[in-house]
Structure 1
Amino acid sequence: MSNDIAYPVFRTPDPALALSTARRLMEFGRCEYSEVSADAELPSVAEVQRMAKELPEGWCRGREEYGEFDGVPYEDQPPLVVGVQGPGLPADPAAYEGRLPVEWEMWDVPVGSIEDAFTAAIGSNMGRIRWENLSWPDAPDVGLYGEFKHAGVSLLLNLSTREFDEPADDHTVLVHVRSAIVNGRQMREPYVHWLAEQMGLSVIGAEQRS
């Protein structure tokens, strides 16, 4: 079993520029199996309902307390907890008590199907777009092998890390590769530098682990 590691290579307060930069990187490794996912954290009922209206195909899941539904059959749990698409969201604000923030998500959809709409709709909320199943090429001139299993690009919107734990006023592009640590050293970091350089970019921060 292996894990990925990601490095920031671009940061800007302009979401459109961040998206176009992330797309340039993604296209460098895009293949027929590539997919994209998006998720967001919505802190208020108004934002949940707005996102559901603008992106009704997304799934929304509210918080639950640990053990809150132990022993309760799945079909008897609130739709907002188990997951519901926009048209099925409750209209009564009382249904969201104790459920905020709500997670909005779409997973494994075709590249190009959601990125523009999601970036336009995110507003000041924390969100993330991730392109996966890419294929980074070999770099034989510098003795570096390519990457497939963990090849990816992430765009963090109003976030500094992919764990949704550091809100930000700008947007960051991350490049993902396989993690390979030998004697405490990350052996794949030089490959990330090479990938960034192919797009006229550079690594601008510390690694982020999943």
Structure 2
Amino acid sequence: MVSSPDPLVGKASQRALIPSSGYETRWHVVCTAARILPVGNSYAFPAFRTPDVDEALRVVNQLLELADTSQLELDFDIAVTSTRTLTRLLALLPEADWWCIDPGQEEQVLSPSSQRGDDPYTSLPIHFQHWCVPPEYLPPILAAVGSEMAAIRWDFTAWPAVPELKLDSSGKCAYITVSINARTIWPDESSPDHTVHIHAAEFYPERATWLAAQVGLEIIGDPEMSAL
């Protein structure tokens, strides 16, 4: 995985993303009930759940110690409902993509979005997204998120080889996602806790099980298909 020359440039040029509705030219992940995902995505296996964000981050760091993190970046997907949160996030990530969250809206109606040049403040609630973010942005973004729902994905070089399982080192599904104040990797189902998800290929769930075991954990639920 190669980062963009500008660490705050979106990943559309690096990865196959999900097309939004036809009126937009950019590609982004659409968090709706009908999610269309490309072939070959990773699956996110829940391995740890806690009401303490710091505990969730501790587990992430333990997992990262197993991995090749010579290249490391973060992806943020945040469900923003308040002007206060939006102001703080825009101060940190002014070039972020966003689109209106309106599940009841008819498909042919154009939703307000950054692509159209709409005002995010008059469009709340919105889905706020920025990928390829340097790791040092994590503390201030977490502080800005507060009680909002968010999904934070660590994107790194590779998971280690597991010879006993005949698994080579792999960068294809080298991700960890933490659902903040949300139960799933899509920030659309609120929860009083936070969940750490280990990503692995669909046909190699044993990698996720092995990784969890290395840090004293086990898989605690069904996997979800990821955007990547």
Q: TM-score, normalised by structure 1?
A: 0.75
Higher helix share: 1
Residue 206 of structure 1 corresponds to which residue in structure 2? 222
Q: Residue by residue, what CA displacement relative to the aligned partner does 1:8-57 show, whole Å, maximum 9, x if unpaired?
A: 1111101111122112212321332332111211113333224334x354
Residue 19 of structure 1 corresponds to which residue in structure 2? 57
Q: Residue by residue, what CA displacement relative to the aligned partner does 1:122-179 show, whole Å, maximum 9, x if unpaired?
A: 1110011111133111111343333211111011100111122321000010000111
1:175 and 2:198 matched: yes
- Distance, in Å, in 1 between the alignment partners of 2:64 and 2:140 is 18
- Distance, in Å, in 1 between the alignment partners of 2:132 and 2:93 is 16
- Please point out which of 143, 148, 152 is paired with 1:125: 148
SS of 1:34's equivalent?
Answer: strand
Tell me the C-alpha RMSD between the 2 structures.
Answer: 2.6
- Distance, in Å, in 1 between the alignment partners of 2:140 and 2:128 is 14
Aligned counterparts, 1:26-105, within 5 A: 26-53=64-91, 55-57=92-94, 59=96, 61-63=98-100, 66-68=107-109, 81-82=114-115, 96-97=121-122, 99-105=123-129
- The answer to whether the 8 Å contact 2:42/2:173 transfers is yes
Match for 2:188: what amino acid?
A: D
In the comparison of the two structures, how many residue pairs are matched? 184
Residue 185 of structure 2 corresponds to which residue in structure 1? 162
Higher strand share: 1
CA shift in 2, pair 1:68/1:206, >3 Å: closer
- Distance, in Å, in 2 between the alignment partners of 1:125 and 1:41 is 6
SS of 2:157's equivalent?
Answer: coil
Q: Residue by residue, what CA displacement relative to the aligned partner does 1:69-102 show, whole Å, maximum 9, x if unpaired?
A: 59xxxxxxx8x53278xxxx96xxxx744x2212
Gaps of 5+ in 1: 71-77, 181-187
Instruction: Point out the more displaced range, 40-49 or 160-169.
Output: 40-49
Fraction of identical pairs, as percent: 30
- Please point out which of 113, 126, 140 is paired with 2:136: 113
Instruction: State which structure, 1 or 2, has the greater radius of gyration over its C-alpha atoms.
Output: 1
